[in-house]
């Protein structure tokens, strides 16, 4: 199974999620999203597949946004505001909070 993780190696939840993917034998593509951020359109696609409203995908310490369009704009311009990690497989997209949630798409 192929999986893509939008990963921050400094984040413990992101590292735990990557370990779950690796232990499951997934062929993992790692995207360090702070170095290679997803576009606004890619974020919208991922969150739509995950069934998550953009404002729900903001980190808790990110500035509050008035609507989902503004949340997408913020995440696209400042990827540090994206909650992590996001994982995509053929079975869907999950936010790895808690990390065990990614098992739903393996």
Catalytic residue positions, numbered: 11
The pairing of strands 27-32 and 2-7 is: parallel
Answer yes or no: are the C-beta atoms of 11 and 5 closer than 8 Å: no
Length of the chain as a residue count? 106
Structure tokens at 10: 């400094």
């Amino acid at each position: 199974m192929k999986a893509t993780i939008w990963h921050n190696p400094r984040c413990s939840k992101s590292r735990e999620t990557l370990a779950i993917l690796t232990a499951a034998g997934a062929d993992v593509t790692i995207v360090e999203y702070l170095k290679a951020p997803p576009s606004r359109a890619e974020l919208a696609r991922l969150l739509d597949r995950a069934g998550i409203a953009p404002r729900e995908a903001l980190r808790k310490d990110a500035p509050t946004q008035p609507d989902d369009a503004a949340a997408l704009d913020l995440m696209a311009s400042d990827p540090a505001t994206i909650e992590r990690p996001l994982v995509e497989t053929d079975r869907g997209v999950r936010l790895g909070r808690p990390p065990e949630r990614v098992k739903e798409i393996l």
